[in-house]
Amino acid sequence: MIGIIDYGMGNLFSVSKALERLEVDYVLGNRPADLANCDGYILPGVGAFPDAMKALEAHGFIPFIKEKVENGVPLYGICLGMQLLFDLSHEGGETEGLGLFKGEITRFSGMDEEGSSYKVPHMGWNQLNIHQPGQPLLKEVKEDHVYFVHSFVVQTKDPSILYATSDYHVEVPAIIGKGNLVASQFHPEKSGRAGMQLLENFCKVLCKQ
């Protein structure tokens, strides 16, 4: 059973429909007691980082998520859900994240190294550049195009967590992971075959559904 963490800021409909297409059993829960005994968790996210952290705290999910990850239960963060896994975000000031990955979240500058402006947010289809093809999460995942929508980007000095990147004037961490903790900046449920393969690998390989 996969638990989808509902804290009021996730694209629950599209994620749940994707799991239904994969014939994966899931449960939606807006409090830890609803999701206590799942085999793995998905943390979706749409919106602003500070609001999301407040919502996670209000629903009692911060200690729950940290405990589950520490105990080796697989967790997949999607879009904002990926950013929440890091130490700190500079969106609307400074807000501490879950601290499960080392790094910070900053806004795209909108200006490249040559001084030319570019559009923010990074929105639309962009190609994956896979760095660690042997990872179980990436089984049969190709360097296809996937769907991004984000104005803020992960900054990390730990290259070991970069499973795949994408190029949008700077290198964008697209898929990251460390053991049972994985995430993608793009929306896998909206990213065609590559995205569905990622979700299938998470549910059926990492979570053994």
Give catalytic residue positions: 79, 187, 189
Three-state SS sequence of the chain: CEEEECCCCCCHHHHHHHHHHCCCCEEEECCHHHHCCCCEEEECCCCCHHHHHHHHHHCCHHHHHHHHHHCCCCEEEECHHHHCCCCEECCCCCEECCCCCCCEEEECCCECCCCCECCCCEEEEEECEECCCCCHHHCCCCCCEEEEEECEEEECCCHHHEEEEEECCCEEEEEEEECCEEEECCCHHHCHHHHHHHHHHHHHHHCCC
Contacts with 36 (C-beta within 8 Å, 6 or more apart), sequence order:
none
Residue 91's identity, in one-letter code, is: E
Identify the residue whose tokens are 């080392």. 102
Task: At 198, list the tokens.
Answer: 């990622």
Structure token pair of residue 35? 């999701």
